[in-house]
Amino acid sequence: MKKSHISIITIISIITLLVLLFFTTPVQSQDDGIESLRETSKAFASVARSVSPSVVFIQVEGTKSRSLFHQFPMPFDFDKKWPFGDDLFERFFGERFDGSPQPNSPRRQPKVVGQGSGFVFSSKDRLFFDKSYILTNNHVVENAEKIKVILQDKREFEATIVGTDPKSDVAVLQIKMGKLPSLSLGDSSKLEVGEWVVAIGNPFGLSHTLTVGVVSATGRNSLGINDYEDFIQTDAAINPGNSGGPLVNLDGDVVGINTAIFSKSGGYMGIGFAIPINLADEIAKQLMKDGEVTRGHLGITIQELSPELAKSFGLKKSTGILVAQVMDDSPAAEAGIKQGDIIISFRGKSVLSTGAFRNLVALSSPNSKASLMIIREGKQIKLNVTIGKLTQNKEQAIAHEQPSEELGLTVQNITPYLAEKFNVESDQGVVITEVKTGSVADMANIKVGSVILQVNRINVENVNEFTRALKKSSKDKSVLLLVQTGSRQHYIVLSWS
């Protein structure tokens, strides 16, 4: 009887314990979730406290060349609060114009007041006690006559430009005030898709605004925003005025410079682009040392290796990039690189795209040595090359290919080789090297070897200018081209759905 009594008590205790566990576990789980969110929130708050004192508000005053308004149609509506309209890739550097420019008063130079962001950064090479350096975008301070930097504590300083690099859209400013809190630079090569990032800047003049998101993608290039591209894509909300501000990780280290947004409204649409800090840091070091950027040069024309091209070269995978042309007496020619070679690695790093490869070469010091792994006739070959120095003439001689999916054609910069190959009579514009059968361009009877001189009455001198001008037609899905075939020039309107 006694044993039976004990057994009943034991059973009742177990049941009671199970009931308590059943009802308390969800509550405990919910509390743990809330606590986890609190910790995440505290992490963002910590980043804001540590980073904000180093973020600056940049105000720019200057003039723009009157030739802009005479040579091209108005690029935006001057009645709008910010001058970006529906451009596909918006520069979010908010500008304010003192009145609309009048075409009939060519002598007038209207003042331009612009705003953007930047941040004080610490150089890994040296420390400065009497001055501070600020990283920002070139397009924030371009054409500036007067630059004012405003700190979080409202102190204001006149800034001078140390150096700018329009091709990468990086600029370094200097102010005469040392020992300012500075941001440490992280390693953008270690960023992973899905990683938390924080954008801080001055959108629409709202000082030190913080937004949070994740890394959506890395290695974005061929966007037509800059000449040298390797963008970090993020969904952290960024808007006009954020240009030049830092993109930081949860440790408060800078991983990128906010530079551009994808937008049809002029505001945030969930896609922003930042220059990787590794690229910006290399550019900044050269600007601080020499005031300009010196880039490496191989002397080859490259193109993406499509699955079709890979198959035609006897490859199972479309890994690497294809050498389409080797310039005479170039570093590549001296190293033994040949037309038709497929480059799969550069200095031990896998080559995944033409844009990434171009950046690797450009950031290489002239006269430095580099190893290349190529595939030639199915065999891997290692070559050693001495990097040359890129000059303006050499850069113009290298063809850069850009396909247009909407129009169904591919264009390249005009080089002596292409001019001879296609019997091109023009030294301006971009040459059409491919027209897809059944495409909009094909139906309009546009031929390979023709030259596109203008897009919507805007002169285009190279592939990047062509890409930027074409993107402005994305909303209307119609574009006006000035095309030259032989010595004959004619306008063509192309529309797509």
H runs (alpha helix) in 227-322: 277-290, 307-312
Handedness of CA 455, 460, 466, 472 (dihedral sign): negative
pLDDT, mean of residues 428-449: 88
Closest by alpha carbon to 210, among 182, 191, 184, 236? 236
Q: 360-396: per-residue pLDDT in tens?
A: 898 898 999 999 999 998 899 999 999 998 876 555 5
Which helix (H) or strand (E) segment is 18 a member of?
A: helix 2-51
Q: At residue 254, does pLDDT exceed 50?
A: yes
Scanning the structure block, which residue is given the tokens 């690099």?
A: 165
Closest by alpha carbon to 239, among 375, 94, 137, 451? 94
CATH 3.40.630.30 fits 53-101+109-292, yes or no: no
Q: Report which residue type is found at 314.
A: G
What's residue 244's pLDDT? 93
Interatomic CA distance for residues 458 and 464, integer angstroms: 13
Closest by alpha carbon to 225, among 162, 145, 170? 170
Closest by alpha carbon to 224, among 481, 470, 497, 484? 470
CATH 2.30.42.10 fits 401-495, yes or no: yes
Lowest mean pLDDT among 32-41, 50-59, 299-308: 32-41
Which active-site residues does the annotation give?
Answer: 139, 169, 243
Portions of the chain given CATH number 2.30.42.10: 296-393, 401-495
- Has this prediction a pTM greater than 0.75? no
pLDDT, mean of residues 419-444: 84
Q: Domain 296-393 is of which CATH architecture?
A: Roll (2.30)
Higher pLDDT among residues 246 and 31, named by residue: 246
What's residue 234's pLDDT? 92
CB 364 within 8 A of CB 296: yes
Average pLDDT over all residues of the chain = 79
Interatomic CA distance for residues 264 and 230, integer angstroms: 22
If you write DSSP's letter for every residue of 167-225 in order, what string do you get?
TTTEEEEEES--S---BPB--GGG--TT-EEEEEE-GGG-TTEEEEEEEEEEEE--SSS
pLDDT, mean of residues 351-365: 87
Portions of the chain given CATH number 2.40.10.120: 53-101+109-292
Q: At residue 332, does pLDDT exceed 60?
A: yes
